[in-house]
Structure 1
Amino acid sequence: MSLPDPETVPRREFCKAAVALGGVAGLSACLDAGGDGTDPDADGSLADVPTGDPEGAPSRQHAWNDVLERDENGNVVAPTHHVLRGLSVSSDLVDVIGGGDTAALDDARRRFEDALTDLERAFERSNEGLLFTVGYAPAYFDRFDNGEDGPAGVELPEPTALTSMEDPEFDAADVLVHFASDSPEAVLAAEEALFGDESAANGMSVTDVTDLFEPVDRRTGFLGPGLPRERRDVQGVPDDAPIPEEAPLFMGFKNGFAGSQAPEDRVTIDEGPFADGTTQHVSTLQTQLNAWWDQENHHQRVAKLFSPTHAAEERVGEWGEKLGSAPSVTDLPEDALEYAREEGVVGHAQKAARARDDDGTPPLLRRDFPTTDGDHTGLHFLTLQESIADFVRVRDAMTGADLADESGVGSRLNNGILQYVFVRRRGNYLVPPRAHRSLPDPQP
């Protein structure tokens, strides 16, 4: 991909493109765009990017909410820049694992843990520094010939198609690292130090582990008001789509309401050797929003994304500003079938809410973000949950096939946003507790 002219676009748009480019070239371009105090010092440290203290890191890798900012309604504000790095363990390490070479595997674990600890020392655990998790796919645990069926005490199935309407590819990586920060330089510097050509990040050396992994794929994205509007020049959305300035999503609304997010405790594994870990599902979704913006009006978009009641009662506002900390769907799920029969429309959020726990708690913690990978609009739909079965249950509710069948409306049902969103890839991962995040054994 080519970068825009830094003289003609806002710096945040330029650096967003640099994150998508990646590598030393992306990092250098982002730093060279400077002019706002982000140029590195002589020792390589990044101005305004704070360093960290590994001693203060929690047991849970996924414990981000305590250090992220919140808006005036109490909603967690997600970091702006995101990178997902898929990796396979190297052929030499495959031989070590398969051959049961305990000493060599322990050495690899120590080195990888040293590298991750180096990153925690180089960057504060915050949106201004760096947040990251390391997850492991079923394929990783299958490399161990020890009679175990996957990670002990955790159901971690291979990904599969979840509806008759999808035919996704499945992630081929053993390991998935999620980097996130408000600083594009921090994301790029950490990535390059861990898996690229740099030996330091933010002025601090990082242990070399490049021989342990082989790259599989790289996915990028962003989340923040105005960013989708700035990227209307890609496929999948009209270049004059009236996406509100405040909207962080290409569909023109906000997400991440506190009332629709599971607490971190709810998604945490509470017993067994991987207690304090979580499971992670990542779907790569491609969106086709020309009809969404050219044929639907605001009332119809609200009805399909939230519910017909939200549209009729004007609960949402232009981009979700009226919703505060909750999408107000808990009074709607039991009426979804009636809505389908009488209105011929059922909302996406309305359907998903049917999968909440009996006490009304959502079972998923979403950390998804929009993307323009491949110069097309999309979403990397990343969720954390105690069990992958929780994700499957919510996905079934979101699909709403039962509503189409039982309502008698069938294919004529305006079934949420299904016609605008297409699943291209799926992957399942275990995000272990910090103590086992470095090349874990299935039974640590």
Structure 2
Amino acid sequence: MTSRRSALARLGGVAGAIGLSGCAQFLESASDSGTDLPPNPHAADLPNRQFAQTEYLPTNAAGNDLQARYRRLLFLNLDVDPSTEAARTVERGMRTIEAAYDWSTEGVFHVLGWGTAYFRRLGKLTEAPISKPQVLSRTDNPDLLEFDAVLVLESDVPSQLTAIENAMFRSRAGGTLNGEPVEHSLGDVFSIAEVRTGFLGEGLPAQHADVEGIPAGALSQDDPTFMGFFSDRQGTQASEDFVTIPDGKFAGGTTLHAAHLTQNLDTWWEGLDDAGRVARMFSPEFDPSDIPNFESNVPFSDAVRDHAREFDVVGHHEKVAQVRRDGKPLILRRDFNTTDGDHAGVHFLSFQQRLQHFRATRRAMNGWYVRDDSPAITDRENNGILNFIDVQSRANFYVPPRDKRAFPLY
């Protein structure tokens, strides 16, 4: 991967061509992140929304985004007191990552979010747009985790994620990251509490299927997820605009929910036929032959309770579609499969303007309201995909805009 130095050099050439006054005007328009640092030299190259990827992603023939294939989540504990100096270190570390890799799937997408433990440390959790995670179903008892921060890394090149983790947390200052000098590391401020890894896309689930929770030989090289279905149709995702906080002191940011789900798919693959899987993932109104025709959306008939009475089963997607606003979803998912703990699973990441939007979506997924319509439907049985997943943990974070990402509210 080519360093960003060449791109920055080209920017410098453009600045020289337009004159010093133009260069000064550009610098003045960039925020200093409240850290007494010069403006971010990469500001013109990067979206101010840390989670903004849509304009930078490749798409398939139907226009659906193809997200980065490899992911790494670094959950962080703060080892120093919040201070301007600590904020400067964090901002410099993040700028080093930006200098080293392009903002693309071939480079690295990255998000620095701040958790409930951080806002509690400041005594400002009640002011924050996030709160402690909650238990959201009657069948799960997840660990409700609180961290100071999380660094989300995404790339088609897994070695680049390892390189960032090593350079920022496991190596001494003075090294390099893809040719960029590492003079300030995030490890000077944070320690890693937990690392989670995963993948998404055709071929990768089959390559990682030798773990508990997946029957041997169940997956083909065409399967993009452990459950076999492509899940990122544009019409089933909220837009980046919709999940952005529109005003107030947190404007331009968003909230992030991170959950770890384990999957037990023996019955999914060996106890159900194609029609049974389609009914539980989408809706019993569909036949397996319908699925290839779903391009950028899924055309639900909005008849969940009728389906419960007629078919004794309801689908996952038709349930969560009940909380759409003006036909549009409330959350932007960036979930991916994992084999952490040597067990098939999902790291479920969702961005939403308010955590209430995620909670409403999850409660719709619970499907409690259809149990009275069919004795065959319970909290888990015949109730979408609930019989095949268990929620192990939840955590919540605030994702500031890029120019305010170092120690928000401090």
Same fold (TM over 0.5): yes
Partner of 2:225: 249
Q: State the AA in 2 paired with 1:354.
A: Q
The answer (yes or no) to whether the contact 1:300–1:311 under 8 Å persists in 2 is no
Partner of 2:343: 376
Shift of residue 409, structure 1, vs aligned partner: 4.7
Shift of residue 433, structure 1, vs aligned partner: 0.9
Within the alignment, does 1:307 sit opposite 2:283 as a pair? yes
User: For 1:211-250, what aligned pairs fall within 5 Å after superposition?
Assistant: 211-241=188-218, 243-250=219-226
Within the alignment, does 1:385 sit opposite 2:363 as a pair? no
Within the alignment, does 1:395 sit opposite 2:386 as a pair? no
Within the alignment, does 1:192 sit opposite 2:166 as a pair? yes
Within the alignment, does 1:142 sit opposite 2:120 as a pair? yes
Partner of 1:25: none
User: For 1:265-344, what aligned pairs fall within 5 Å after superposition?
Assistant: 265-311=241-287, 314-316=289-291, 321-329=292-300, 332-333=301-302, 335-344=303-312
Distance 1:111 1:150 in 2: 27
Q: State the AA in 2 paired with 1:281.
A: H
Partner of 2:186: 209
Distance 1:50 1:227 in 2: 29
Distance 1:339 1:108 in 2: 56
Shift of residue 184, structure 1, vs aligned partner: 1.2
Shift of residue 65, structure 1, vs aligned partner: 1.0
Of 186-195 and 250-259, deviating more is: 186-195
TM-score (norm 1): 0.80
Q: State the AA in 1 paired with 2:319.
A: K
Within the alignment, does 1:435 sit opposite 2:403 as a pair? yes
The answer (yes or no) to whether the contact 2:376–2:382 under 8 Å persists in 1 is no
Distance 1:112 1:188 in 2: 19
Q: State the AA in 1 paired with 2:309.
A: R
Q: State the AA in 2 paired with 1:86.
A: F
Measured against aligned partners, the alpha-carbon deviations of 1:258-305 in whole angstroms (never above 9, x if no partner) come to: 110111001000001111100001110000001111111111111110
Aligned to 1:391, the other structure's residue is in SS state helix
Distance 2:3 2:67 in 1: 17
Distance 2:198 2:57 in 1: 18
Distance 1:347 1:89 in 2: 42
Distance 2:393 2:231 in 1: 22
Q: State the AA in 1 paired with 2:275.
A: H
1:117 to 61, 86, 95: 95
Within the alignment, does 1:362 sit opposite 2:329 as a pair? yes
Shift of residue 413, structure 1, vs aligned partner: 5.5
1:85 to 47, 64, 74: 74
Measured against aligned partners, the alpha-carbon deviations of 1:371-404 in whole angstroms (never above 9, x if no partner) come to: 0111110000100000000000000111101111
Distance 1:310 1:226 in 2: 26
Shift of residue 50, structure 1, vs aligned partner: 5.9
Shift of residue 151, structure 1, vs aligned partner: 4.0
Distance 1:150 1:117 in 2: 30
The answer (yes or no) to whether the contact 2:256–2:350 under 8 Å persists in 1 is yes
Aligned to 2:201, the other structure's residue is in SS state coil
Aligned to 1:176, the other structure's residue is in SS state strand
Partner of 1:180: 154
Shift of residue 251, structure 1, vs aligned partner: 0.8
Runs of 4+ in 1 over 4 A off after TM superposition: 47-53, 406-410
Aligned to 1:363, the other structure's residue is in SS state coil
Partner of 1:131: 109
Distance 1:440 1:64 in 2: 22
Shift of residue 127, structure 1, vs aligned partner: 0.6
Shift of residue 149, structure 1, vs aligned partner: 3.9
Seen in structure 2, the aligned counterparts of structure 1 residues 246 and 302 have a Cα distance that, compared at 3 Å, is: same
Aligned to 2:329, the other structure's residue is in SS state coil
TM-score (norm 2): 0.87
Q: State the AA in 2 paired with 1:220.
A: T
Measured against aligned partners, the alpha-carbon deviations of 1:102-129 in whole angstroms (never above 9, x if no partner) come to: xxx0011011101101111111111111
Distance 1:238 1:182 in 2: 27
Distance 1:355 1:297 in 2: 29
Partner of 2:313: 345
Distance 2:51 2:314 in 1: 33
Aligned to 1:414, the other structure's residue is in SS state coil
Measured against aligned partners, the alpha-carbon deviations of 1:145-178 in whole angstroms (never above 9, x if no partner) come to: 4xx44445x2x11001101111001223211110
Structure 2: 5+ residue stretches without partners: 9-41
Seen in structure 2, the aligned counterparts of structure 1 residues 413 and 83 have a Cα distance that, compared at 3 Å, is: closer
The answer (yes or no) to whether the contact 1:50–1:128 under 8 Å persists in 2 is no
Structure 1: 5+ residue stretches without partners: 1-46, 98-104
Aligned to 2:320, the other structure's residue is in SS state helix
The answer (yes or no) to whether the contact 1:237–1:288 under 8 Å persists in 2 is yes
Q: Give the fraction of aligned pairs with identical amino acids, expressed as a percent.
A: 36
Within the alignment, does 1:426 sit opposite 2:394 as a pair? yes
Q: State the AA in 1 paired with 2:399.
A: V
Measured against aligned partners, the alpha-carbon deviations of 1:222-256 in whole angstroms (never above 9, x if no partner) come to: 01101111222111001111x23222101111110
Shift of residue 58, structure 1, vs aligned partner: 1.7
Q: State the AA in 2 paired with 1:140.
A: Y
Distance 2:244 2:268 in 1: 36
The answer (yes or no) to whether the contact 1:50–1:129 under 8 Å persists in 2 is no
Q: State the AA in 1 paired with 2:94.
A: L
Shift of residue 48, structure 1, vs aligned partner: 5.4
